[in-house]
């Protein structure tokens, strides 16, 4: 498949050594990811106790390991497979695979604090996908065609609901693959909110600016359906790599190339059986279908709850009154497939959205101001989208202004970002207490706060509405804020932290301090 990355990015050719030489683990699908986690203490558990996919499954995992912006009590915990699903004797459901930065580190092969940097390098060194023969595709071992008598996706796949007021069952980790109606090689992959609406229908929610929605609009203008595949149960590199957004991955860029860059080998695709589209060959489950032109449904047409599902900011979103419809034409699966899902506001969303956010900001800042930005963290409290902590190392007086310029670059490169906190190199950007310490000792509100009003943000933030802020004329508009918690360069010598003797604490407390080679 042709790769339309900018010329400044390197396309890794088949057989070429991986440019970064990462210690990439032997993972190429969901099952190999699970097998890896089974070897790591505290990263994976299973249960054979029956669970109801309606609200109960998410209610259990809320306590086990959801984390993120989920209402407390919650925590970061292991991934969990439910082997007995009420009403679905042949199904299994996995939740929380990426709901821990440490776990993602094991799955991708980069240190916890360098995952964003690794993602940036994968974006620089892409590997395009390849198409394989249908007979070699595990995702098509079992086939259900919508034309078959008795076909009902509601009886085949146990789509969960997160809460009892959800609009309906949702596929929360359905990676939708679509392409330009006039150019099949112009491909986009994105995770969208997919609500089960009938035996062969799903509704799909598009946040503004999504490339597949542009393809849909183009097809609809011509009175034609848009063929798509919905891919579930994947190598985590595919899910995370797909979450890059423009301008880091501009219109016409296939995000599957990033997953290839992370693994150092191409993602394998296969032709769908019932629509002119491709699917991810190693997936656990594929839903084939078409987005119908000029057809809309109420998201909660069957439940009338007025609610959609819990979203990443921590609130349950309103049901959308008019959403496009996917007419399902087939479901293909592996034998004994694993349905993969997530808890909407949990830490898994932070990993999915946040690590590509960090990479995008790091890439653009390094290109514009080389050497200033040392690291970026897309904080859990913003769901990986709303809050970025940017760590800088100033080299002269001129970097005072360039530090704030870096924050403006971050806001420009990632549209959904709302707040930026700037910290110096001696502050641990991954430690919220340390970041807040910098705010208390290196920040003065009237001098170090920069507000940018009336800027596009994210429609799922309830404060970005005319109801909350009468100045806002359209939903998804907000004031963006930069908090400069860095020391002016000429005052650096007056802000040196207390220096303690450098010792090896493992000599006194070996159980608390494992050897460095044992650490992530």
pLDDT digits (tens, 9 = 90+) for 55-87: 999 999 999 999 999 999 999 999 999 999 999
Q: Do domains 10-348 and 369-494 have the same CATH topology?
A: no
Concatenating the DSSP letter of every residue in 142-209 gives EEEETTSTT--HHHHS---BSSTTSSS-EETT-EEEEEETTEEEEEEEEE-EEEEEETTEEEEE--TT
Rg of the chain, C-alpha, whole Å: 23
The answer to whether the beta carbons of residues 313 and 383 sit under 8 Å apart is: yes
Which entry of 245, 255, 290, 311 is annotated as an active-site residue?
311
pLDDT exceeds cutoff 60 at 6: no
Token duo for residue 79: 């991934």
pLDDT band at 1 (very low <50, low <70, confident <90, very high): very low
Where does 123-164 show beta strands of DSSP type E?
125-126, 130-131, 142-145
- CA–CA distance, 43 with 267 (Å, rounded to integer): 25
Using CA atoms, how far apart are residues 79 and 65, in angstroms rounded to an integer?
A: 7
Distance, in Å, from the CA atom of 97 to the CA atom of 342, rounded to the nearest integer, reads: 8
d(CA 318, CA 487): 43
Average pLDDT over residues 204-223: 93
Q: How high is the pLDDT of residue 252? A: 79
CATH code, residues 369-494: 3.40.1670.10
Domain boundaries, the chain: 10-348, 369-494
Do 351 and 98 touch, CB atoms closer than 8 A? yes
Nearest Cα to Cα of residue 482 among 515, 510, 453: 453
- For 10-348, CATH number out of 2.30.30.50, 2.30.110.10, 3.40.50.2300, 2.40.10.410 equals 2.30.110.10
Tell how far CA 321 is from the center of its chain: 26
Q: Sheet with 449-456: list strands edge to edge.
A: 373-378, 387-392, 419-424, 477-484, 449-456
Q: Could you read off the pLDDT of 444-501 as tens digits, one per residue?
A: 999 999 999 999 999 999 999 999 999 998 999 999 999 999 999 999 999 999 999 9
Model confidence over 386-430: pLDDT tens digits? 999 999 999 999 999 999 999 999 999 999 999 999 999 999 999
Asked if 320 and 205 touch (Cβ cutoff 8 Å), the reply is: yes
Within 10 A of 4 (CB to CB), how many other CB atoms are there?
A: 16
Residue 19 has pLDDT above 90, yes or no: no
- Model confidence at 10, pLDDT cuts 50, 70, 90, reads low
Asked if 165 is an active-site residue, the reply is no
């Amino acid at each position: 498949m042709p790769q339309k990355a900018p010329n400044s990015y390197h396309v890794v050719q088949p057989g070429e050594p991986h440019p970064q030489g990462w210690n990439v683990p032997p993972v190429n699908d969901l099952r190999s990811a699970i097998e890896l986690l089974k070897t790591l203490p505290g990263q994976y558990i299973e249960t054979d106790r029956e669970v109801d996919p309606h609200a109960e499954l998410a209610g259990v995992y809320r306590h086990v390991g959801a984390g993120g912006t989920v209402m407390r009590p919650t925590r970061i915990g292991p991934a969990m497979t439910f082997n007995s699903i009420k009403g679905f004797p042949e199904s299994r459901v996995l939740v929380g695979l990426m709901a821990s930065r440490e776990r993602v580190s094991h799955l991708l092969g980069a240190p916890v604090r360098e995952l964003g940097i690794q993602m940036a390098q994968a974006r620089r060194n892409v590997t395009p996908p390849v198409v394989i023969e249908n007979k070699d595709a595990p995702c098509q071992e079992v086939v259900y065609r919508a034309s078959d008598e008795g076909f009902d996706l509601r009886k085949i796949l146990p789509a969960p609901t997160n809460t009892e007021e959800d609009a309906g069952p949702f596929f929360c980790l359905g990676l939708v693959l679509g392409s330009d109606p006039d150019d099949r090689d112009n491909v986009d992959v994105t995770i969208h909110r997919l609500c089960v609406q009938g035996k062969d229908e799903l509704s799909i929610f598009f946040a503004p600016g999504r490339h597949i929605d542009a393809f849909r609009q183009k097809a609809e203008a011509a009175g034609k359906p848009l063929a798509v595949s919905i891919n579930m149960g994947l190598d985590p590199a595919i899910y995370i790599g797909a979450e890059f957004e423009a301008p880091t991955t501009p219109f016409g860029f296939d995000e599957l190339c990033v997953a290839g860059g992370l693994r150092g080998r191409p993602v394998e695709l296969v032709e769908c059986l019932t629509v002119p589209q491709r699917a991810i060959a190693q997936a656990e489950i594929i839903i084939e279908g078409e987005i119908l032109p000029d057809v809309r449904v109420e998201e909660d047409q069957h439940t009338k709850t007025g609610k959609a599902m819990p979203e990443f900011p921590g609130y349950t979103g309103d049901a959308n009154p008019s959403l496009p419809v996917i007419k399902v034409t087939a479901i293909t699966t592996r034998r004994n497939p694993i349905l993969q899902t997530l808890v909407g506001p949990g830490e898994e969303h932070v990993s999915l959205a946040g690590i590509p956010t960090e990479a995008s900001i790091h890439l653009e800042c390094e290109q514009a101001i080389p050497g200033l930005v040392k690291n970026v963290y897309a904080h859990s409290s913003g769901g990986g989208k709303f809050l970025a902590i940017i760590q800088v190392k100033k080299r002269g007086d001129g970097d005072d202004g360039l530090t704030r310029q870096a924050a403006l670059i971050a806001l420009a490169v990632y549209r959904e970002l709302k707040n930026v906190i700037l910290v110096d190199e001696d502050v641990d950007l991954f430690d919220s207490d340390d970041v807040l310490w910098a705010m208390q000792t290196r920040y003065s509100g009237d001098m170090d706060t920069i507000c940018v009003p009336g800027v596009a943000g994210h429609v799922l933030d309830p404060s970005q509405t005319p109801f909350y802020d009468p100045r806002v004329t359209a939903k998804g508009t907000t004031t963006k804020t930069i908090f400069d918690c860095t020391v002016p360069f000429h005052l650096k010598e007056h802000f040196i932290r207390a220096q303690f003797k450098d010792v090896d604490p493992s000599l006194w407390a070996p159980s608390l301090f494992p050897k460095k080679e044992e650490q992530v």
